[in-house]
Structures are given as structure tokens and as C-alpha cells.
A and B are shown apart, each in its own frame.
Chain A
Amino acid sequence: MKNSFSRRSFLKTSALASGGMLIGFNLFNACKSDVELPLDLSQLNYKDFNAYIKISPEGKVTIYSVNPEIGQGVKTAMPMIIAEELDVAWDDVYVVQAPLDTENFSGQVAGGSQSIRRSWQPLRETGATAKQMLVNAAAARWGVAANTCTVKSGIISNANGETLGYGDVVEDAAVLEIPEDITLKDSKDFNIIGRGKRNVDIDKITSGKPLYGLDYKVEGMVYASVLRPPAFGQVLASFDASKAKALPGVIDVITIGEKARALLNAGKPNWSVKLSTTDKVVVVGTTTWDVIKGKKAIAATWKTDSDLESTEDHDAKLLDLLHGKKFRTRRKDGNTKKAFANADKVIERVYESTFLPHNTMEPMNFFANVTEDKVHLVGPTQTPEAAANAVASMLGRPVEDVHVDLTRMGGGFGRRLYNDYVLEAAEISEAIKKPVKMVSTREDDMTTGVYRPASKYKIAAAIKDGKLTGYHLKEACVNGNMYGLIPNFFPAGAIENYQVDSAQLKSNITVGAWRAPYTNFLASAEQSFFDEIAEELGIDRVQLHMDLLDNVKKNPDANIEYSPERLQGVLKKVVDTSNWGKTEDGVYQGLSVYYCHNTHVAEVADVIMENGYPVVKKVTCAIDCGIVVNPLGAMNQARGGVLDGIGHALYADFGFKNGVPLANNFNGYQLIRMAQTPKVEVHFIDSNIAPTGLGEPTLPPVGAAVANAIYKATGKRLTKFPYLKYLNAETEIIG
């Protein structure tokens, strides 16, 4: 095949002064044509390329990866793809996160389960191109045609039985032209992709080595803790720091906020910035504990400058929106009005969800050292480039002055797409003229979050002559709405008269992406509703979906990116593997099937009743994500997504009273724990199709699988998150 990227300078190669070959490549952007690769590795510039491969004269392969690693496994899976096409032994590959002190680093976003999907082809081409150059070098040395040579695990052989290792020819290869024609492997010849490889950081994780932002420190660094308003809608009025300043470990107490406010007033903070206009009190001290204590010693007063909102208000206003007429239509097929007017029967349900904090295990934190020469930022962010741009704008510095180094992240789940805490660290460092680590507590994180927005859906189905003839979904959501192609996800295309409308409630509460944005609740609503539709129609639940998906096949639509065949495939797989419909007495099953983040998933939850309470014992999960790059990592993502989804559907309760968050730590907010977890059994569909992501897609459908099983067990239709709160509130018999 043609190397489709080479003409855009996707790849550059160079001979290294230290010996061997360096290949720089850019996954997503065309590189500037004048980019030169360094001869000296210490001069690596991560701005121009996203990653590098180094092959040493000894044949060792190092892959320098700068992709943000939030636990989704890309630091292992992406190098595997390169190593496969490069045709080296995985044990010879050394993966390195971008080194500290790199100049002008910029990385990709970790978000949307897109890393593997978007990089699959370029990573393969990178590996294959490097391999071809090495083969060409060996062929030239032997004086044979390159196409008569073969490669296995970094050893090149010719027809005469002679062999050369990659290390033997790497110096020659480094000065060759980048070949236009390369051959990618047939997937049946893969021997790294599809074989489980362990997390490349596992030795450091199990032995407690410094890896995370909170672990980073430099000589002379101080700590800072930020006191922010207790309620959304409030700003700082006054404060008394005398007690705090008297504490031995407290160095200073300052305020910040002016710089951030100027950025907001200029009207152009980038999308990654969620800032309030308030001043904040900052305690600076010698250790984390000093600043935590110091912050508690601050006496602050707050004044109200906008509405102090409560959950009851949100609920009432969202319901008003749902029942009103202020909608934006997101997709419309046929004529739903007519279908509902002509229906024999209409069924309708309202589904409701809460705000949710992200609760990454590692609280927000960032290191900043703002000096006249440069701005050095180190820590966990899913959007390092956006962080650098925002900090540069706020400080009035050229972005070239800003260096961001990435640490492994103690979870992201969308929270670290937003860089408010990076800006705080930078504003503090500039004010105190010292290297500083801004550290949030759990209470800070949970009460000044960027929450999953509360949302409600009203779904109506029209039934005529025993058929589903119309489907109308309305969304009301705080400060956001479903985006992109979500209105075109299943059941779009399956029902003749179909409409999706959305409405938005403005609020002063900050919201943002939370693992599988919007679909994390939408899937639960819709897939619960389909259980009701099937019951109303008197049709088997699986058959209803199979029939609807057959309709999609007959009506091709450019906006529909899910595959009806692949959804049917996962449905069949989950039915075959879950003992669907054949369980023993006392085991109740619920089904859910969903497509999001380019991956097709079907899940069956097995629920039993114990002491009157529903207990999820097992979830069977069938996934079509194309080729499974790293089965070990994929299994972790799939099982984690399912359990995360169950936890938040059953237990997670969060709201506001007069602007104040109702929970501030894990004693008032329940995350799923081991004793509550079912066994998750995962089945991947065998596939030769290019891979798609797994960080999110197994989460959205599981709520409905559980709700549908609980319905069978209790006769109760669950429509509000967290399910168990309302199940217990509404039923005497099972409590």
C-alpha cells in the first residue's frame, strides 16, 4: 500500500549522534516541513511530533510516548501496534513517557475513547515504514532485492540464508529515503496485537515509585491549598488570616483570582477552562498538611452574587422544560406528530439523573514554576496543550514560554479535561515567585467540581397494530445537551417516525464531560424504555431489537455510524453466553444493547434477591470493538466500565442545597466497593476490523441491564438514578 502520510511529513528519520536511528511521527497533524530531528536525544522536541521510535545499534527499540495515560492503557497498547508492524519482540521494546524538561511539549487529548481508533492506521504505518527502511538497508548491503528478504523478531533474512539484525543495519537505514510503498501485516500474522501485554508501568505501580502528579517535587517547592466559595453563586467578601499565619508551617496567605478574572473578562478563555469570577484565599506552606491546616484556620465571609440553586429547583425546572415547547430538534424522521395522533396506544416515561462528581482517586493538583524565563507546569491533565495555551493567555506570555510535563494520572473520567486547577497553580506561582504544588483535598474536589450535569429524558412510543410506529425523545439538561452524532445512535434509523429534541437549563454550577458524556444516562433511559416497549408489544426483548436492527439495514443513512449487523452480533453473542432465558429460579436477567464511542456492546445482568434487596451477581458483556489490541488491557477497561456504571447507577447520589454540594467526601457519597461487585464476564467478537476505543463504551448500557433485571425481580420500573435510593423509597415489600 501507499504510505498515505509521508507526503505530509508524517514521518521523519534521523541518524543519532549516539548511534542508531530516530523516527519521529505525528499521529494527527501534518508536521511543519522544516522540522529537523535532533542528532542528540536530549534535544527531542515534542511539539513537532507526538512520539518517537529509537532503534539502537544493539537492536533495542525505545518508544517515547507522550499520550496522556489516565488508566485507559494507551501507554501499553499504542506501542504494541508499532512493535507489531516493526516486527520486533515485545520484550525488546522499552516504553518511555516523554522525559521531563522537554521544550515546547504538546500532547494529545485523552478523551472520547478515541486514542486507539485514531492512531491505529498511522501507528501501523510508522512501524511498517521503519521496518521497510531496515529491510532496504539490509538488501542494499547484500545486493539483493528487498522483496526477497523476510523479517522475524528484528532479524532480517535473505534467500541465501544470511541474516542481519536491526541493530546491524540501523545506521544505514537512518540515512535512506522514507519509502512510499509499505506493506502492512495481515491480521492473521499478528503476534503482539491480540496477545495480552501487561501495563508497562506495572513494576512502578506495585512498588510505590513516584509516578503521579502528587508525587512530583523539586528542591525549593512549597505547597498551596486554595479556599474557594462554599456555594455556587457566592464570591469572597472578606477574610481574616491571622490565625493561619500564626501556624508554624504556614509561609504566607495570599489571594488569587484577578488574573483568572481578566482572562474571563477578555472573553476568550479556551474551552478547557472552567473558572469562577471569585477571589480565592491561598495558604502557602512547607508541607501539604501545613496548608490543609492553614486553610481550616482561615475565617472567611462570602457574599452572594448569583442564584443559590437547589436540587429541587433544578428538578422542577427540568421537568417544566420537558413538558414545555422550547426545544431544539436534533433529528427528525417521518412525522411523529401524526404517528402519535394515529396510535392505538402511547406509552411515556420520564427518566431522571443527578449531578455527579468525578472523584478521581488522585485529587486535582498541579506543579507550577513561573519565572521570567519560562513557565514550567507538571502534573495530571488530559489536555496538556489546552492547559499551556490557557496559562499563556492568563499570564500574558507567549505559549513558547510554557512547558508542560505529563505525569501518569490517578484517573481522569473527564475531570482533567478542564484545567482550572492548572491555572490556579500558575497564578499562585507567579504571585509568590516560587515553585509551588497546588493540592486539593477530597472535599475541595467534590465541592468545587466540574460535574456530570443533571439531566432528564421524556421518551414516548406510539404503538399501532401491534407495531412500534413512533418514538419521540426529549432531553432537558443543565448547561449542556447531547452532542455530535448521539441523536443518531440507535434507535435512530430503526423507527419510521422518530424525533429527538433537546432543551437546556442555564445554571451557575459548572458541568462538563463525565465518562461517556450524556450516553452514561441516556443509554440507561432508552434501554429501560425498550424493555417496556417489548412488554407492551408482547414481543421477546431480543426479537424486538433484532427486528428493529433489520429495519436499519434497509434504510442506509449517512448520519448513522453504528452498524446494525454488529449490534445484532453482540446481541446474539450475549444471548449465547449469558444463559439468557434459561436461568435457574431466583435469578432475574435484564438486557441492554448500546452503541457509543464507535464500539458496539450488549450486556445481560443477573440479579438475585437477598433479604429483600436486589443484588447483581453477574454481568455478561459482549463487545465488538474490532480487533482487540491488548486483551489484558481491554478486559480491564471492559470490566471496570461495567462496575463503574453499576456503582453510579445504583448508589451515587449528589445534589445541591442553596448552592452548597450535599456531599463532600466518601462518607457521604457512595462509590461501589468490592463486596457490591458482581463477576463481569467479557466476550469480544472475533474481528478483523480496525479497532475502536474501550475507555467508555461498556459503562452506558449497564444501568438499564440492571434496572430491567430488577424489574423482573420486583415488578418495579426504575427510572431515577441512583436506582437503589428510589427502589427503597417506593417499596415497602422489599425494604
Chain B
Amino acid sequence: MPTFNLKINGKKHAVEADADTPLLWVLRDKINLVGTKFGCGIGQCGACTVHVDGSAMRSCLLQVSQAEDVDITTIEGLSERNDHPVQQAWKAIDVPQCGYCQAGQIMTASAFLNENPNPSNEDIRNAMNGNICRCASYNSIEEAVKLASENIS
């Protein structure tokens, strides 16, 4: 099996894996970063969202062979003290119900706000549309992204 050199949350990892292994399963099963969640495996639900060079990407669709020479950030590395403005907003609004999709929601929201720190409500609704929440905590997610944007800007 080939070895791949990954940079995850600022730390280097040499991982042995089949070249077609999705980054999602490398993170979860090999590096033990289980905050990134499996939901659909086909890039439809957003539960596995991570940052690749700062952009939100579906780790279930990104093969490990494509993940070298980039900076990967997972929910565990979004902030050191669980205090990124998006995490703070999620806590202030008390967004989660079951909570399973929320890491992906937070990663999508944080990459989005990095690019667009002053979004309209419509911008937020479009940006978050790729992430499914089966508990339908959408009103709270929308409010939390808005709150985070206010705290950032």
C-alpha cells in the first residue's frame, strides 16, 4: 500500500492507504479524527465537510492521493479552544438536536464566512443549502451563521 503525506490541523501524518481511499475514512479510521462524519458517501449531505486550503470540501469525495500538498483542517482543528466565532455562535444559539451533522455545518459556515464576512440572509441560505440536517435545525443554523457574521465583522 502506498504512503501519503498529509497535513492535517497543522500536523504532518504519513498514512498508508489505497490511493482511492476517501479522506473521510483516512481521518476517521486511520488518524482517529472522528469529528468529521459519514452521512451519504456521495457528497450530497455535507456531514463530512472539511477545509482544504481554507475552502469547504466533501472529504467523502476527496481521495487521499489528492490530499497531499494541501492544508487540511477538520472540526478538531478549527480552533484550539472550541472558540471560533462560528463555534461560539452555535453554542449561544444552542443549535444542535442530535448534533451529528453539526461539525459539517460548522465547517461549511466557517469557510463561507471567511470568504463573505457580511452575508445577507439569502447568501446564508444558499451557502448552507448543501448541508442536510435531518433534525431540521435549519432556523437555528441560519441564526447562528448570522450571529457569527456579526461577531466577525
Q: In chain B, what residue has the closest Cβ to A359?
A: B134
By the criterion CB–CB under 8 Å, are B41 and A441 in contact? yes
How many Å lie between the Cα of A633 and that of B34 in the bound state? 26
- CB of B149 within 8 Å of the partner chain: no
How far is the CB of A698 from the nearest CB of chain B, in Å? 11
How far is the CB of B18 from the nearest CB of chain A, in Å? 7
Q: Which B45-100 residues have a C-beta within 8 angstroms of A?
A: 45, 47, 74-76, 78, 82, 87, 90-91, 94, 96-100
Q: Which A167-211 residues have a C-beta within 8 angstroms of B?
A: 196, 198-199, 201-203, 205-211
How many Å lie between the Cα of A154 and that of B45 in the bound state? 46
By the criterion CB–CB under 8 Å, are B34 and A636 in contact? no
Taking a contact as CB atoms closer than 8 A, the residue among A223, A633, A666 that contacts B42 in the complex is A666
How many Å lie between the Cα of A16 and that of B144 in the bound state? 43
- CB of B37 within 8 Å of the partner chain: yes
Taking a contact as CB atoms closer than 8 A, the residue among B17, B21, B134, B136 that contacts A677 in the complex is B136
- CB of A280 within 8 Å of the partner chain: no
- CB of A667 within 8 Å of the partner chain: yes
Q: In chain A, what residue has the closest Cβ to B91?
A: A202
- CB of A249 within 8 Å of the partner chain: yes
**Beyond A208-B103, A640-B137, is A288–B94 a contact (Cβ under 8 Å)?**
no
Q: Which A352-383 residues have a C-beta within 8 angstroms of B?
A: 359-363
Taking a contact as CB atoms closer than 8 A, the residue among B40, B47, B125, B136 that contacts A639 in the complex is B136
- CB of A643 within 8 Å of the partner chain: yes
By the criterion CB–CB under 8 Å, are A208 and B136 in contact? no
The interface size of chain A toward B, counting residues with CB under 8 Å, comes to: 65
Taking a contact as CB atoms closer than 8 A, the residue among A205, A361, A443, A644 that contacts B39 in the complex is A361
- CB of B13 within 8 Å of the partner chain: no
By the criterion CB–CB under 8 Å, are A442 and B35 in contact? no
Q: Is the interface of B mostly helix, strand, loop or mixed?
A: loop
**Beyond A198-B91, A207-B75, A249-B18, is A361–B141 a contact (Cβ under 8 Å)?**
no
Q: Which B88-116 residues have a C-beta within 8 angstroms of A?
A: 90-91, 94, 96-103, 106
**Beyond A249-B18, A632-B94, A644-B136, is A674–B42 a contact (Cβ under 8 Å)?**
no
- CB of B151 within 8 Å of the partner chain: no
The interface size of chain B toward A, counting residues with CB under 8 Å, comes to: 58
How many Å lie between the Cα of A673 and that of B130 in the bound state? 7
How many Å lie between the Cα of A205 and that of B98 in the bound state? 9
Chain A residues closer than 8 Å to B32, beta-carbon distance = 217
How far is the CB of B29 from the nearest CB of chain A, in Å? 4
- CB of A409 within 8 Å of the partner chain: yes
Chain B residues closer than 8 Å to A292, beta-carbon distance = 41
Chain B residues closer than 8 Å to A249, beta-carbon distance = 18
By the criterion CB–CB under 8 Å, are A666 and B132 in contact? yes
By the criterion CB–CB under 8 Å, are A674 and B75 in contact? no
How far is the CB of B7 from the nearest CB of chain A, in Å? 18
**Beyond A644-B135, A665-B44, A679-B139, is A208–B36 a contact (Cβ under 8 Å)?**
yes
By the criterion CB–CB under 8 Å, are B34 and A203 in contact? no
By the criterion CB–CB under 8 Å, are A675 and B100 in contact? no
- CB of B153 within 8 Å of the partner chain: no
Q: In chain A, what residue has the closest Cβ to B38?
A: A214
- CB of B33 within 8 Å of the partner chain: yes
Chain A residues closer than 8 Å to B33, beta-carbon distance = 208
By the criterion CB–CB under 8 Å, are A677 and B96 in contact? no
By the criterion CB–CB under 8 Å, are B94 and A202 in contact? yes
By the criterion CB–CB under 8 Å, are A667 and B44 in contact? yes
How far is the CB of B144 from the nearest CB of chain A, in Å? 10
- CB of A220 within 8 Å of the partner chain: no
How far is the CB of B75 from the nearest CB of chain A, in Å? 3
By the criterion CB–CB under 8 Å, are A410 and B137 in contact? no
By the criterion CB–CB under 8 Å, are B40 and A211 in contact? no
How far is the CB of A332 from the nearest CB of chain B, in Å? 38
By the criterion CB–CB under 8 Å, are B76 and A636 in contact? no
- CB of B140 within 8 Å of the partner chain: yes
By the criterion CB–CB under 8 Å, are B37 and A665 in contact? no
How far is the CB of A613 from the nearest CB of chain B, in Å? 16
Taking a contact as CB atoms closer than 8 A, the residue among A360, A636, A642 that contacts B140 in the complex is A636
By the criterion CB–CB under 8 Å, are A196 and B125 in contact? no
- CB of A71 within 8 Å of the partner chain: yes
Chain A residues closer than 8 Å to B25, beta-carbon distance = 287-289
By the criterion CB–CB under 8 Å, are A409 and B98 in contact? yes
Chain A residues closer than 8 Å to B103, beta-carbon distance = 205-206, 208
Q: In chain B, what residue has the closest Cβ to A641?
A: B136
Bits for A19-61, please: 1 = Cβ < 8 Å to B, else 0.
Answer: 0000000000000000000000000000000000000000000
- CB of A584 within 8 Å of the partner chain: no
- CB of A248 within 8 Å of the partner chain: yes
Q: In chain B, what residue has the closest Cβ to A636?
A: B97
By the criterion CB–CB under 8 Å, are B34 and A208 in contact? yes
Bits for B2-44, please: 1 = Cβ < 8 Å to A, else 0.
Answer: 0000000000000001100110010011101111111111101
- CB of A671 within 8 Å of the partner chain: yes
How many Å lie between the Cα of A72 and that of B136 in the bound state? 12
Chain A residues closer than 8 Å to B78, beta-carbon distance = 207
- CB of A493 within 8 Å of the partner chain: no
How many Å lie between the Cα of A441 and that of B136 in the bound state? 21
By the criterion CB–CB under 8 Å, are A207 and B35 in contact? yes
- CB of A637 within 8 Å of the partner chain: yes
How far is the CB of B119 from the nearest CB of chain A, in Å? 13
Chain A residues closer than 8 Å to B30, beta-carbon distance = 287
Q: In chain A, what residue has the closest Cβ to B128?
A: A674
Taking a contact as CB atoms closer than 8 A, the residue among A640, A666, A675, A679 that contacts B129 in the complex is A675
Chain B residues closer than 8 Å to A713, beta-carbon distance = none
How far is the CB of A111 from the nearest CB of chain B, in Å? 15
By the criterion CB–CB under 8 Å, are A363 and B38 in contact? yes
Chain B residues closer than 8 Å to A269, beta-carbon distance = none
- CB of A672 within 8 Å of the partner chain: yes
Q: Would you mind naming 17 contact pairs between A and B with Cβ atoms under 8 Å apart? A: A201-B96, A203-B82, A206-B82, A206-B87, A207-B78, A248-B18, A288-B29, A361-B101, A412-B98, A633-B94, A636-B94, A636-B97, A643-B139, A666-B42, A673-B138, A674-B129, A674-B138
> Which A residues are within 8 Å of any B CB, using their own CB?
70-73, 196, 198-199, 201-203, 205-212, 214-215, 217, 223, 248-249, 287-289, 292-293, 359-363, 408-413, 441-443, 632-633, 636-637, 639-644, 647, 665-667, 671-675, 677, 679-680
